[in-house]
Amino acid sequence: MAEIGKGVTAGKLAINVQKRLTRAQEKVLQKLGKADETRDAAFEEMVANFNKQMAEGTKLQKDLKAYVTAVKTLHDASRRLQDCLADMYEPEWFGKEEMDTLVEDTDTLWLDYHQNITDKSLGCMDTYLTQFPDIKARIAKRDRKMVDFDSARHHFSSLQKGKKKDEAKIAKPAALLEMAAPSWAQGLISAHQVAQTNLSYNQAEEDLGRAQKIFEELNVELQDELPALWDSRVGVYVNTFQSLAGHQEKFHKEMSKLSQNLNDIMTKLEEQRQLKKGGTAAATTGDGAKSDEANHSESASSAPKRPGPPPSRPPPRLTPSPDQRQQQQQQHGGVFEDQASEPDANTDSTTTMTQQSSVTNGSDGDLPPGFLYKVKAIHDYTATDGDELELKMGDVVLVLAFDNPDEQDDGWLMGLQESQWSQKKDISAKGVFPENFTQKI
């Protein structure tokens, strides 16, 4: 309640208190059925829609704020992650400058996205909801003025009924007045009663007209505004979510490009590492060739490393038949005869040694023809073709010379399981296998 002396006079305070009492009495009479209540079903439906619209808008605003907060949190997490990567990325690594630029672009993209959805989507909802408190207050005021209008109407109606009764009484002089007052005074008394009744009646009529005017003005304004406000919600939702969807699409499209750039940098960094690792391995292999026994002892005491995939096998080179060779010699004027009389320049000393070793070892009855040396499988190998040899870790394989050296692919050997040869002496069980899955013994 307002305090006296702060813009509120004692008289105005008394009037406000009287209005509250009058409204309370009117409500009680209406609930008891002793007074009529002004009802407007169409307006009540408008108010129900307004309350629903305000509740939905408030919930949407709350959820949008939660979404914006989540974006801000995700932005902070992304920035910390990107900064961590930039700090760990060593200057001599591939793409250091590109990495620093990518971190800055990612942070800028997050900032723009957060700012856009805050200004556009959330800002649209904030503006939309600012009109609800004023309309809600006017609806409440309209309800109060409706009660004042009903109270004034009922009061005026009561005075109308009372005036008719008083007029009937005044027309018939009271027996008491006739006895107590002389005849000349009876007219004065009657005139006074009529004046008092007319004064109250006129005042009530003025109050009724004033209450009705205030109520109808508020009622008409709200009946125009509430349906328009109800229809406006569609446009607000469209603008809010179109803006949100547009900014999301743009953000994810740009973020996808940055993610692809990051993936490319990581891929090239790994390729660089593999090249460097391959060079180191080659140097190590060259040094190890000088002391094969020491390397063998070291590998025996530690678990072998997993080899890469077996080398691909190109299709075998075709050796021309005798008839084809003769036809080619005729076409080229005996060139092939000259070449046939000379050793093949592409046949290196290794092939020669292999053939010699094959002849030498073939004479040994305990080993298959063409035996070169033994290897031990250090990893399992599953055959993928009919001419390949299946390996289990620990298997001992007798390496054999190829019948036709031209058929040997790089990184592949021909061999026979030692156990197979020991049991069956069957050379047909031989097959090719990847050299990097074995170790020479």
For the stretch 416-435, pLDDT in tens is 999 999 998 989 899 999 99
Give domain 39-275's CATH superfamily: Arfaptin homology (AH) domain/BAR domain (1.20.1270.60)
Q: Which residue intervals of the chain bear CATH 2.30.30.40?
A: 361-441
Provide the pLDDT for residue 234: 95
343 CB contacts (<8 Å, ≥6 apart)?
none
Determine the pLDDT at residue 21: 73
Q: Read off the pLDDT band of 311 (50, 70, 90).
A: low
Q: Is the pLDDT of residue 354 over 60?
A: no
Q: Would you say residue 258 has pLDDT above 90?
A: yes
pLDDT tens string 318-330 = 334 444 445 444 4
The percent of residues in the chain predicted with pLDDT above 70, rounded, is: 66
At 255, the pLDDT band (50, 70, 90 cuts) reads: very high
Residues 6+ apart with CB under 8 A from 21: none
Q: Quick check: helix, strand or coil at residue 102?
A: helix
| Residues 397 and 374 sit within 8 Å (Cβ to Cβ) | yes
Share of the chain above pLDDT 90, in %: 48
Residue-level pLDDT at 203: 86
DSSP string, 110-178: HHHHHHHIIIIIIHHHHHHHTTHHHHHHHHHHHHHHHHHHHHHHHHHHHHHHHHHHHHHHHHS--HHHH
Residue 6's pLDDT band, with cuts at 50, 70 and 90, is low
> What is the residue-averaged pLDDT of the chain?
78
34 or 149, greater pLDDT? 149
In the prediction, which pLDDT does 344 show? 45
Residue 116 has pLDDT above 70, yes or no: yes
The whole-number pLDDT of residue 39 equals 79
Cβ(389)–Cβ(433) below 8 Å? yes
CATH 1.20.1270.60 residue ranges of the chain are 39-275
What's residue 197's pLDDT?
Answer: 62
pLDDT at 249: 96
> 146 and 23 in contact (C-beta within 8 Å)?
no
Condensed to tens digits (0 to 9), the pLDDT of residues 148-169 reads: 888 888 888 878 776 666 555 5
Task: Return the closest-CA partner of residue 72 out of 18, 113, 123.
Answer: 113
Q: Which two tokens stand for residue 389?
A: 């040899």
Tell me how far CA of residue 50 lies from CA of 58, 214, 229, 335, in angstroms. Answer: 12, 22, 8, 103
pLDDT of residue 309: 57
Q: How many residues does the chain have?
A: 441
**Whole-number Å distance between alpha carbons of 86 and 99:** 7
Report pLDDT for 312: 55
**Contact yes or no for 320/331 (Cβ under 8 A):** no
Look up tokens 């942070």; give the residue: 107
Give the tens place of pLDDT for each residue, 373-392.
999 999 999 998 889 999 99
Task: Give the pLDDT of residue 396.
Answer: 96
| Most trustworthy range by pLDDT among 60-64, 184-188, 289-293, 341-345 | 60-64
Q: Could you give the angle at which helices 132-171 and 41-88 cross, rounded to 10 degrees? A: 160
- How high is the pLDDT of residue 59? 96
Of 206-210, 219-223, 234-238, the poorest mean pLDDT is in: 206-210
Q: What is the mean pLDDT of residues 174-195?
A: 52
pLDDT of residue 335: 38
- Residue in the structure block whose two tokens are 């005869």: 337
The architecture in CATH of the region 361-441 reads: Roll (2.30)
Mean predicted confidence (pLDDT) in 217-221: 93
Please say if the pLDDT value at position 294 is more than 60. Answer: no
Q: Would you state the pLDDT for residue 182? A: 55
Quick one: DSSP state of residue 224? H
Lowest mean pLDDT among 147-161, 273-287, 333-347, 407-421: 333-347
